[in-house]
Amino acid sequence: MDTVRSLQHLHAAYILTWCVHLGYVLYLVRAFVEVKREADELRKN
Partner 1 sequence: MKRATFTLSAIGVAVLLSYGLRQALQIAPTEATMGNIQRIFYYHVPSYATAFTMFAINLVASIFYLVRRHTPAAMAADAVAVSAAELGVIFCSVGLLTGMLWAKPVWGIWWTWDARLTSTFVLWLIYVSYLMLRRLSTAGQAPTLAAALAVFGFVDVPIVYMSIRWWRTQHPQPVIFGEQGSSGLDPAMTTALLVNLAAFLCYGALVFWVRYKLERARQELHEAQALHTIQLARAEAR
**What single letter denotes the amino acid at residue 27?**
Y
CB of 30 to partner 1, least distance (A): 10
CB of 25 to partner 1, least distance (A): 7
CA distances from 16 to 11, 19, 20 (A): 8, 5, 6
Please give the Cα distance from 42 to 11 (Å, whole number). 47
Residue 45 within binding range of partner 1, rule CB under 8 A: yes
Which residues form the interface with partner 1 (CB under 8 A)? 1-3, 5-7, 9-10, 12-14, 16-17, 20-21, 24-25, 28, 31-32, 35-36, 38-39, 42, 45
